[in-house]
A = this chain, B = another copy of it.
Amino acid sequence: MLKAAVLGATGNVGQIFVQLLDGHPWFEVSVVAASERSKGRTYGEASRWRQSTPIPEAVAQMEVVDVTPNAIKDVDVVFSALPSAVAGKTEEDFALAGYVVVSNASAHRMDPDVPMLNPEINCSHVSLIEEQRRKRKWDGAIVTNPNCTTTVLTLPLKPIYDEFGIKSVIVSTMQAISGAGYPGVASLDIVDNVIPYIGGEDEKMETETQKILGSPSEPADLKVSASCNRVPTIDGHMMSVFVEMKKQAESKAVAVAMENFVGEPQKLNLPSAPEKPVVVTQEKDRPQTRLDRMEGKGMSVVVGRIRKDPVLNGIKFVALGHNTIRGAAGCGVLNAEYLKVKKFI
């Protein structure tokens, strides 16, 4: 078993990391690190565990340590669920100390020498690690997953991009409250309400999508316009997507392309890889957030209502993915699995 540290382990995404690594065939949590406040308490006390599965007993007993390389030893991989404000510098410290950091934070995502992996799509970007090590003069590495909404969006886009080409994408999201962490969104702000604004989210979707669909050295040449909204759901980001393609295609052909899509994680049979990264539903009123977010143990994106779009002369559809699993910790774990197979861990 490889030993894993989780940074920012008491927050919401940190807890999902701990949850997903419980019983994992390759990794086991051996260190939990969090901010000053939690230091010295057991993880059970400090985390105020808020998941609906029980807290893993062994981790509950661990003492929470500082978020610094000095506090850690005998660890094979570091998962970071740090808030972006601290992630930038801290993750560099860990890479400099020789650790491979698999991060959910946005701090380094758009760095040209940092792979931002949605592994079914752009595993090849791990080649950036070499450049990163050379330029930054460290033995470790930083590898990130995209923003939760980008992760969900890019999975169904990838087969379209490969088979028909994409000129542009318009997307309007309906995002769950867990996307803002804990305590995150105040209940007075979201019960019986929609907030049509999430700070920085439109821009993240627009730029990250280009990077993921591009080559390691160059973003994809497509335009993305996003409008992000918070709605009163707990988990699961739903989105309406409108796509202008280079090559015309019927809805059916698009559905087939999505259904047939697999990536490296499926071919390598990675433990967290869903059988199908994209599941296409035929029912007219699906996917639905609460009913479909756990498809593929939360690692699949469910697509429905694929139909002609009269404006972009392309297609439109709805897509749903689990924001804290596929869109955060689950994608991170899948990334680590890929890195292990490729001997980076």
Q: Which of A83-91, A127-135, A255-263, A304-312 contacts B (4 or more CB under 8 A)?
A: A304-312
Is A345's beta carbon under 8 Å from chain B? no
Interface flag for A42 (CB, 8 Å): no
Q: Are B188 and A186 in contact (CB under 8 A)?
A: no
Q: Which of B185, B242, B284 contacts A186 (CB 8 A)?
A: B185
Are B284 and A197 within 8 A (Cβ)?
yes
A125 in contact (CB, < 8 A): no
A194/B225 in contact, CB under 8 A: no
The yes or no answer to A38 lying at the interface (CB within 8 A) is: no
Binds B, one of A63-71, A73-81, A106-114, A168-176: A168-176
* A193 x B312 contact (CB < 8 A): no
Does A285 contact B195, Cβ atoms closer than 8 Å?
yes
Which of B169, B186, B227 contacts A316, CB < 8 Å? B227
Within 8 A of B (CB), among A35-58: 50-53
Q: Mark A175-212, 1 if CB is under 8 A from B, else 0.
A: 00110001111111111111111000000001000000
State whether A190 and B193 are in contact (beta carbons under 8 Å apart), knowing that A174-B229, A225-B311, A311-B224 are contacts in the complex: no
Q: List residues of chain B with CB within 8 A of the CB of A177.
A: 187-188, 191
- A residues at B contact (CB < 8 Å): 12, 50-53, 168-170, 172, 174, 177-178, 182-197, 206, 223-225, 227, 229, 231-234, 236, 238, 240, 242, 244, 284-294, 304-305, 309-312, 316, 318, 320
Interface contacts beyond A185-B186, A192-B192, A192-B232: sample of 20 additional A-B pairs, CB < 8 Å, sorted by A = A12-B188, A169-B311, A170-B242, A170-B311, A177-B188, A186-B186, A186-B187, A187-B189, A190-B191, A191-B233, A192-B234, A193-B288, A194-B233, A196-B285, A206-B310, A224-B311, A225-B310, A225-B311, A227-B240, A229-B318
28 residue pairs of the A-B complex, CB under 8 angstroms, read A52-B290, A52-B292, A170-B312, A172-B172, A172-B227, A174-B194, A174-B229, A178-B188, A184-B186, A184-B188, A185-B186, A190-B191, A191-B191, A191-B290, A192-B289, A193-B233, A193-B290, A194-B233, A194-B236, A194-B238, A194-B288, A196-B305, A197-B285, A197-B304, A225-B312, A229-B238, A234-B290, A240-B240
CA distance A178 to B189 in the complex (A): 10
How many angstroms between the C-alpha atoms of A138 and B242 in the bound complex? 45
Count this chain's copies in the assembly: 4
Residues of B within 8 A of A172 (CB): 172, 227, 240
- Complex-state Cα separation, A4 to B231, whole angstroms: 38
In the bound complex, do residue A240 and residue B192 qualify as a contact, i.e. CB atoms below 8 Å apart?
no
Contacts of A316 in B (CB 8 A): 225, 227
**Which of A183, A187, A320 has most B Cβ within 10 Å?**
A187
CB neighbours (8 Å) of A288 from chain B are 189, 193-196
The docked-state distance in angstroms from the alpha carbon of A231 to that of B291 is 14
**A289 surroundings in chain B (CB, below 8 A):** 192-194
- Which residues in B have their C-beta under 8 angstroms from that of A170? 170, 242, 309, 311-312
